[in-house]
Chains A and B, each alone.
Chain A
């Protein structure tokens, strides 16, 4: 699968890119730091037994929508027909930090919602122009209900999940398969130092679930899988109950 990945240098994106390169998918990496992208491309090539330079990369920043079109142009030049776009990039900060730093809050909201949505709009247009394809985006279980520890981050992810749902309905018939991955707490650099809740997952595990969903074109998938059932219950709980349990 000819795939563009935004966010492959770290965490779940790195794990997913390794799994895809290992099975022979052709990749093009997007991210903020050219040197870091180059190092990740060399790593993927070495692990997959590809020649140096087989995996290209281009600069792209969720906070700079002007970078999106040139990044996709570079990807198209390298890959030819685009078949899948994966977005694992995003920003995270604790609710306490976001409440005390308005500029950081703006950046997180923009990167995780409007930046990601605009990036997906560019991806959607390019995939549809190629006759359809797959768009796999990492949202979060934090977007399922409003919660005290993730008010702002959760709101951005809730908006993103709704957008992906609508996108799936709007363009499904034209061959666009939208996959919304909702991880729970995953042990990555993004969550480093945070207290660990139950059902914490590993990046490799989440990447494997995301990849299976990408292949099958499943609209929504939880990772680790237990979160599907946890969230099925959490969505039904009345506000009064949530308030009582300190949600």
Chain B
């Protein structure tokens, strides 16, 4: 390293520890003996960081081959380091698409399974795990094991959403969606307050496969929960342009912005301008799939706007129908504590997935980006207390600060997850900074 600087590994929010990634096309060779495999590093907190004292993790991004693509059966087998971007743009011209995609295309398939990602279609499609038909892992014992709903189902269910703690994910099989065209038919409109936002999501969920709301997280009082409804479906051939969409590559944030760039005023200004750019009444348009699914990818390295201190995201799911008003109470607490958020996304979730630690459950998911400040840890802990009181849970792929006692209290499924790990990795060789922090793994 020039100047002898120690290599660092960082989460997307900027939290970093000393360490580096060992990458190889042959992931099973390089991962052997290492505690964790990491993909494209888009998990926000410490789930893809090594445990304390460990300086190397495996990197999967070079193990990125499509091993079999069967358009007739809409099935895929691929190595775990394949990026969603590569896959999506391979599938689109063939009338296929991954059945579930998260908010960025810069993730690996292995990372998607490890976090059991959900997307704008969670209310109908569930998480990615529902569509995975087989996994190949390098276990802690150094064995290569194929698992599925039929073979070693305990390992299969623990791996989906298991944050890479059950084995190094080498290969996976996925059922794909057939799509009528590669374009999206989108409808958007402004929503004035939380009741309208939740009603708009519920109403849209009946007819639309993709729904989400962006919220102005700084709005309070009667305007609490105001924002924008975005819903869509794949366009029919008659509605879509005749030309295929091409991958877009937007500008990059060239360096970390100074800390003062993002403040209450600039966030308020952005939120107001952004919301005003949407119509008050429903507007229908045909949009590029990249702009619909991954709007933030338009600006590369957008995490740099948060400056050197970085940011964290707090994402939780709240059982709104069992505890009416849970979302309002949560947002009010966030607004009261002044967690000025550039980005707040709200989405209704469908049924719980089969992954033992899978995040979504029936209710409403809320995601807030929080710039790092002195009191961010206290803010996250306070928000986690609200989630706990409302019977919700948090998303491990976003977390860096929730306390172990809080996580355990909101996660009754931990015992089943621990049983699967007891069978496949009794010594807890596979672990991360997050698993040491939250699950009590040895450091």
Interface residues of A (CB under 8 A from B): 9-11, 14, 39-40, 42-43, 46-47, 49, 52, 189, 192-193, 195-198
A198–B69 alpha-carbon span in the complex (Å) = 39
Of B17-25, B36-44, B402-410, the segment with at least 4 beta carbons within 8 Å of chain A is B17-25
**Chain B residues near A11 (CB-CB < 8 A):** 25
Task: Say whether A43 contacts B65, CB under 8 Å.
Answer: yes
A193–B34 alpha-carbon span in the complex (Å) = 15
Task: Say whether A189 contacts B65, CB under 8 Å.
Answer: no
Q: B68 in the interface, Cβ–Cβ < 8 Å?
A: yes
A42–B90 alpha-carbon span in the complex (Å) = 13
Which chain B residue shows the least CB distance to A188?
B62
Inter-chain pairs besides A11-B25, A14-B25, A47-B66, 10 sampled, C-beta below 8 Å: A9-B25, A42-B65, A42-B66, A49-B93, A189-B25, A189-B26, A192-B22, A192-B23, A192-B30, A195-B1
Q: B53 in the interface, Cβ–Cβ < 8 Å?
A: no
A111–B2 alpha-carbon span in the complex (Å) = 31
A195–B7 alpha-carbon span in the complex (Å) = 10
Identify B24's interface contact among A42, A49, A192, A198, CB under 8 A: A192
Task: Say whether B25 contacts A10, CB under 8 Å.
Answer: yes
Q: B94 in the interface, Cβ–Cβ < 8 Å?
A: yes
Beyond A47-B90, A196-B1, A198-B2, whether A39 also contacts B67 by CB under 8 A is yes
A192–B90 alpha-carbon span in the complex (Å) = 28
Task: Say whether B23 contacts A189, CB under 8 Å.
Answer: yes
Task: Say whether B2 contacts A42, CB under 8 Å.
Answer: no
A9–B67 alpha-carbon span in the complex (Å) = 13
Which chain B residue shows the least CB distance to A47?
B90
**Chain A residues near B68 (CB-CB < 8 A):** 42, 46, 52
Q: What's the nearest-Cβ distance from chain B to residue A135, in Å? A: 25
A24–B298 alpha-carbon span in the complex (Å) = 29
Task: Say whether B1 contacts A46, CB under 8 Å.
Answer: no
**Chain A residues near B94 (CB-CB < 8 A):** 49
A189–B63 alpha-carbon span in the complex (Å) = 11
Number of interface residues, chain B, beta carbon within 8 A: 18
**Chain A residues near B25 (CB-CB < 8 A):** 9-11, 14, 189
A174–B94 alpha-carbon span in the complex (Å) = 43
Identify A39's interface contact among B23, B65, B90, CB under 8 A: B65
Q: Mark B1-31, 1 if CB is under 8 A from A, else 0.
A: 1100000000000000000001111100010
Interface of B, helix, strand, loop or mixed by DSSP: mixed
Closest 3 CB pairs of A and B: A43-B65, A46-B69, A46-B66
A40–B93 alpha-carbon span in the complex (Å) = 21
A195–B2 alpha-carbon span in the complex (Å) = 8
Q: What's the nearest-Cβ distance from chain A to residue B132, in Å? A: 18
A49–B93 alpha-carbon span in the complex (Å) = 9
Beyond A46-B90, A47-B90, A49-B93, whether A193 also contacts B67 by CB under 8 A is no
A189–B66 alpha-carbon span in the complex (Å) = 19
**Chain B residues near A52 (CB-CB < 8 A):** 68
A14–B69 alpha-carbon span in the complex (Å) = 18
Q: What's the nearest-Cβ distance from chain B to residue A204, in Å? A: 11
Beyond A189-B23, A193-B22, whether A43 also contacts B66 by CB under 8 A is yes
Q: What's the nearest-Cβ distance from chain A to residue B188, in Å? A: 33
Beyond A49-B93, A195-B1, whether A189 also contacts B67 by CB under 8 A is no
A14–B1 alpha-carbon span in the complex (Å) = 26
Task: Say whether A189 contacts B1, CB under 8 Å.
Answer: no
Could you show 21 A-B contacts with beta carbons less than 8 Å apart?
A9-B25, A10-B25, A39-B65, A39-B67, A42-B67, A42-B68, A46-B66, A46-B68, A46-B90, A47-B66, A47-B86, A47-B90, A49-B94, A52-B68, A189-B25, A189-B26, A189-B62, A192-B22, A192-B30, A193-B22, A195-B1
A40–B30 alpha-carbon span in the complex (Å) = 19
Q: What's the nearest-Cβ distance from chain B to residue A147, in Å? A: 17
**Chain A residues near B86 (CB-CB < 8 A):** 47
Which chain A residue shows the least CB distance to B23?
A192
**Chain B residues near A198 (CB-CB < 8 A):** 2
A106–B2 alpha-carbon span in the complex (Å) = 31
A10–B86 alpha-carbon span in the complex (Å) = 17
Q: What's the nearest-Cβ distance from chain B to residue A207, in Å? A: 14
**Chain A residues near B2 (CB-CB < 8 A):** 195-198
**Chain B residues near A47 (CB-CB < 8 A):** 66, 86, 90
A241–B355 alpha-carbon span in the complex (Å) = 63
Specify which of A43, A195, A196 lies most central, judged by the most chain B CB atoms within 10 Å of its CB. A43
**Chain A residues near B30 (CB-CB < 8 A):** 192
Which chain A residue shows the least CB distance to B86?
A47
A229–B69 alpha-carbon span in the complex (Å) = 44
Q: What's the nearest-Cβ distance from chain B to residue A38, in Å? A: 9
Which chain A residue shows the least CB distance to B93?
A49
Q: What's the nearest-Cβ distance from chain A to residue B30, in Å? A: 8
Q: What's the nearest-Cβ distance from chain B to residue A34, in Å? A: 15
A192–B62 alpha-carbon span in the complex (Å) = 11
Q: Which of B46-68 contact A (CB under 8 A)?
A: 62, 65-68
A193–B23 alpha-carbon span in the complex (Å) = 9
**Chain B residues near A189 (CB-CB < 8 A):** 23-26, 62
**Chain A residues near B65 (CB-CB < 8 A):** 39-40, 42-43
A193–B55 alpha-carbon span in the complex (Å) = 12
**Chain B residues near A10 (CB-CB < 8 A):** 25, 62
Q: Which of B144-165 contact A (CB under 8 A)?
A: none
Which chain B residue shows the least CB distance to A41?
B65
**Chain B residues near A197 (CB-CB < 8 A):** 2
A47–B303 alpha-carbon span in the complex (Å) = 30
**Chain A residues near B24 (CB-CB < 8 A):** 189, 192
A14–B81 alpha-carbon span in the complex (Å) = 14
**Chain A residues near B23 (CB-CB < 8 A):** 189, 192
A70–B202 alpha-carbon span in the complex (Å) = 65
Which chain A residue shows the least CB distance to B69?
A46
A208–B77 alpha-carbon span in the complex (Å) = 27
A11–B24 alpha-carbon span in the complex (Å) = 9
**Chain A residues near B1 (CB-CB < 8 A):** 195-196
Which chain B residue shows the least CB distance to A189?
B24
